[in-house]
Structure 1
Amino acid sequence: MTDTGTGAAVRPDLLALTPETLAALSNRGLVKRATKELDAGTVPALTTDPDTTVRARFDDGTTTALPPGTGLDEGSCSCAAPGVCRHLIALVLAHRRDAEAGPGAAPAAFTDWSPGSTDDAALAEAVGTRPFATARRTFERGYAAVVHRPTPDRPEPRVELPTCTVSFPVPGAIAYALTDAAAALRGEVLALAVWAFRAADAAETGERSVPVRVGGRTTAPATARPALDAAVELADVLLAEGVAHVGPVHGGALARAGAALTAESMHWPAGAIAALAEQLTAYADRSARYRPESVAALLTEVHARRRAAAHPGVLGTRETGDTPLRRVRLVSLGCRVHGTGQSLVSEVYFAHPGAGTVLVLRKEWTAPEGRELSAHQLAGRRVLGTPLGSLATGSLVSESVRRTPSHALTIARGRLGATTITPVGAAWTELPEPLLVRDLTALAAGWDGRPPRLIRPRVEAEAVHVVALSEVESVGYDPAEQRLEAVVRDASGNRALVASEYRPECPGALDALADALEGGATHISGSLHRSGGGVRIDPLGVLTPAGTVVPDLAAGDGSTALAAVGRRPSDPLTAALDEALSAMAAVPHSGLRHLGLPARARIDEAATALSRTGLNRAATLLRAFVETPDDGAVSGSEALAARSGAWLEAQLHLLVSSELRFSGTGSGTNDGP
Structure 2
Amino acid sequence: MTRADLLVLTPETLASLANRGLVKRAEKDLAAGSGPVVTTGDDGTVRGAFPDGTEAALPAGIALEAADCSCAAPGVCRHRIALVLAYQRSAPSAPDDTQVAEEPFTDWSPAEFDDDGLATALGRPAVTAARRTRERGYTARVHRPTATDPAPRVELPTCTVRFPVPHELGYALSDAAAPLRGEVVTLAVWAFRAADAEQAEEVTVGGRTTAPAGADDALRAAVALADELLLDGVQQAGPVFTGSLRRAEQALTAVSHHWPAGAVADLRDQLEAYAARASRYAPERLALLLAELHARHRGADRNRVGVLGTSEAPVTPLRRVRLVALGCRIGGTARDRTAETYFAHADAGTVLVLRKRWELTGDQAPTGHELSTRRLLGSPLRALATANVVSEHTARAADRTVVLSRGRIAATSITPVGSAWTELPDRLLLRDTAAHLREAGERPPRLIRPRVEADAVRVIAVDTVDDIGYDPAGQRLEAVLRDPAGNPVHLRAEYNPLCPGGLDALAAALADGEVHCVSGMLGRGRGRIVLDPLAVLTSEGVTVPDLAPGEGDTRLTTIRPRPSDPITTTLESALTALADAAHHGLRHLTGTSRTTLADTATHLRRTGLRTAARLVDALTGALHTQGATAAVPHWVAAHIHLTTSLDLHQENALETPVAERGGSH
Pick the TM interval, shorter chain: over 0.9
1:653 counterpart letter in structure 2: H
User: In the alignment, does 2:136 pair up with 1:141?
Assistant: yes
Aligned to 1:128: 123
Q: Quick one: distance in 2 between partners of 1:184 and 1:412?
A: 20
User: In the alignment, does 2:193 pair up with 1:198?
Assistant: yes
CA apart distance, 1:414: 5.5
Match of 1:94 among 70, 86, 98: 86
Aligned to 2:376: 383
CA apart distance, 1:258: 1.6
Paired residues of 1:529 and 1:537 also in contact (CA < 8 A): yes
User: In the alignment, does 2:575 pair up with 1:586?
Assistant: no
User: In the alignment, does 2:412 pair up with 1:423?
Assistant: no
Paired residues of 2:377 and 2:405 also in contact (CA < 8 A): no
CA apart distance, 1:390: 0.7
Aligned to 1:667: 656
Higher deviation after alignment, 127-136 or 386-395: 127-136
Match of 1:617 among 611, 614, 632: 611
Match of 1:548 among 542, 548, 552: 542
Q: Quick one: distance in 2 between partners of 1:140 and 1:583?
A: 44
| TM-score, normalization by structure 1 | 0.93
Higher deviation after alignment, 268-277 or 610-619: 610-619
Q: Quick one: distance in 1 between partners of 2:579 and 2:300?
A: 25
Paired residues of 1:357 and 1:435 also in contact (CA < 8 A): yes
Residue-pair matches, total: 655
Paired residues of 1:288 and 1:339 also in contact (CA < 8 A): no
Higher deviation after alignment, 363-372 or 95-104: 95-104
Paired residues of 1:45 and 1:56 also in contact (CA < 8 A): yes
Against the structure 1 CA distance between its residues 89 and 414, is the aligned structure 2 distance closer, same or farther, given a 3 Å change threshold?
A: closer
Higher deviation after alignment, 567-576 or 147-156: 567-576
Listed as ranges, the matches of 1:69-468 within 5 Å are: 69-99=61-91, 101=94, 106-203=101-198, 205=199, 210-218=201-209, 225-312=216-303, 313-340=306-333, 342-412=335-405, 418-468=411-461
Deviations 1:401-443 (A, max 9, x none): 2111111122258668522211111111111122111012211
Paired residues of 1:441 and 1:669 also in contact (CA < 8 A): no
The SS at the match of 1:487 is strand
1:615 counterpart letter in structure 2: L
Listed as ranges, the matches of 1:476-515 within 5 Å are: 476-515=469-508
The SS at the match of 2:453 is coil
Deviations 1:210-259 (A, max 9, x none): 21222334356999822211211121112122221022122222222222
Q: Quick one: distance in 2 between partners of 1:562 and 1:83?
A: 58
Paired residues of 1:440 and 1:669 also in contact (CA < 8 A): no
Q: Quick one: distance in 2 between partners of 1:408 and 1:668?
A: 36
Aligned to 2:646: 658
Paired residues of 1:275 and 1:298 also in contact (CA < 8 A): yes
The SS at the match of 1:314 is helix
Structure 2: gaps spanning 5 or more residues: none
Aligned to 1:533: 527
CA apart distance, 1:320: 2.9
Q: Quick one: distance in 1 between partners of 2:376 and 2:657?
A: 42
Against the structure 1 CA distance between its residues 105 and 177, is the aligned structure 2 distance closer, same or farther, given a 3 Å change threshold?
A: closer
Deviations 1:459-494 (A, max 9, x none): 122211111011112211222322211111001111
Deviations 1:349-397 (A, max 9, x none): 1111111111111122333312321111111111222111111111111
Superposition misfits of 4+ residues, deviation over 4 angstroms: 102-105, 219-224, 412-417
Aligned to 2:516: 522
Q: Quick one: distance in 1 between partners of 2:439 and 2:95?
A: 41
Paired residues of 1:13 and 1:173 also in contact (CA < 8 A): yes
CA apart distance, 1:102: 5.1
Q: Quick one: distance in 1 between partners of 2:635 and 2:240?
A: 25
Against the structure 1 CA distance between its residues 608 and 489, is the aligned structure 2 distance closer, same or farther, given a 3 Å change threshold?
A: same
Higher deviation after alignment, 394-403 or 362-371: 362-371
Paired residues of 2:622 and 2:628 also in contact (CA < 8 A): no
Higher deviation after alignment, 59-68 or 134-143: 134-143
Aligned to 1:5: none
1:211 counterpart letter in structure 2: E
1:667 counterpart letter in structure 2: T
Q: Quick one: distance in 1 between partners of 2:609 and 2:269?
A: 33
Against the structure 1 CA distance between its residues 102 and 563, is the aligned structure 2 distance closer, same or farther, given a 3 Å change threshold?
A: closer
Paired residues of 1:400 and 1:415 also in contact (CA < 8 A): no
RMSD: 2.2
User: In the alignment, does 2:9 pair up with 1:14?
Assistant: no
Aligned to 1:6: none
CA apart distance, 1:607: 3.5
CA apart distance, 1:62: 1.3
Paired residues of 1:359 and 1:461 also in contact (CA < 8 A): yes
Q: Quick one: distance in 2 between partners of 1:594 and 1:415?
A: 60
Q: Quick one: distance in 2 between partners of 1:629 and 1:528?
A: 38
Paired residues of 1:220 and 1:310 also in contact (CA < 8 A): no
Deviations 1:150-192 (A, max 9, x none): 1111111111111111111111110111001111111111111
Aligned to 1:56: 48
